[in-house]
Amino acid sequence: MTATETKLKGCFIIEPSVFNDPRGYFFESFNQNTFNELIGKTVDFVQDNESFSSKGVLRGLHFQTGEYAQAKLVRVVKGTVLDVVVDMRKNSPTFSKHFSIELSEDNKRQFFVPRGFAHGFIVLSETAIFSYKCDNFYNNASEQGLRYDDPSLGIDWMLPASEFIISEKDLVLPTLSNITL
């Protein structure tokens, strides 16, 4: 397993070692000791979540604040998504910058998103199963979000907007300039 830090400090692309043979494949999707060593800090995950979505479903951009902020380790079990994060750390040199990566059942990549980032994804395949670990429990009162089409971010979601399927909740999220952190 390898880890490559992105242009956004603390965000890592995790590439597993995949062992293929005539029966199929095997890989270790998570090992706490290896993971902590690769990213250079201890992260204790406490909750696993999974979602199933159809092509064009855009979930996000979400984050939790304060004592309920969450780091996430995300991956795709089935299908393909474009995973996107936005740096919401006010004192960060990359504040308001975003990074996107394609995660799929084929590339088996995982993406570590530290606390202080808004996170979202869009399904590029017909369907997708998206799985993620969180290092803190969900707290509804601490949830915030960022508008997916905020022009100041310039995110390319890789599908035409006419194909987006977005929840009512996500359609009314504020732009970066209207968020109080």
User: Coil, strand or helix: which one is 37?
Assistant: helix
Of the pLDDT bands very low, low, confident and very high (cuts 50, 70, 90), residue 11 is very high
Q: What percent of the chain has pLDDT over 90?
A: 98
Q: Mean pLDDT throughout 110-124? A: 98
- The pLDDT score that the predictor gives to residue 165 is 98
- List the domain boundaries for the chain: 44-178
- The pLDDT score that the predictor gives to residue 181 is 73
For CA atoms 62, 166, 79, 85, the dihedral sign is negative
Q: Mean pLDDT throughout 79-96? A: 96
As given in the structure block, the two tokens for residue 78 are 């089935």
Distances, alpha carbon 14 to alpha carbons 6, 48, 137, 181, in Å: 11, 17, 23, 29
CATH fold of the domain at 44-178: Jelly Rolls (2.60.120)
pLDDT digits (tens, 9 = 90+) for 94-106: 999 999 999 999 9
Of the pLDDT bands very low, low, confident and very high (cuts 50, 70, 90), residue 48 is very high
Q: What percent of the chain has pLDDT over 70?
A: 100
- The pLDDT score that the predictor gives to residue 20 is 93
Of the pLDDT bands very low, low, confident and very high (cuts 50, 70, 90), residue 32 is very high
- The pLDDT score that the predictor gives to residue 80 is 98
- The pLDDT score that the predictor gives to residue 45 is 97
Three-state helix/strand/coil letters over 111-131: EEECCCEEEEEEECCCEEEEE
pLDDT digits (tens, 9 = 90+) for 119-170: 999 999 999 999 999 999 999 999 999 999 999 999 999 999 999 999 999 9
Active-site positions read: 62, 132
pTM of the model as a whole:
0.94
Q: Mean pLDDT throughout 7-13? A: 97
Element (H, E) at 35: helix 32-39
Of the pLDDT bands very low, low, confident and very high (cuts 50, 70, 90), residue 180 is confident
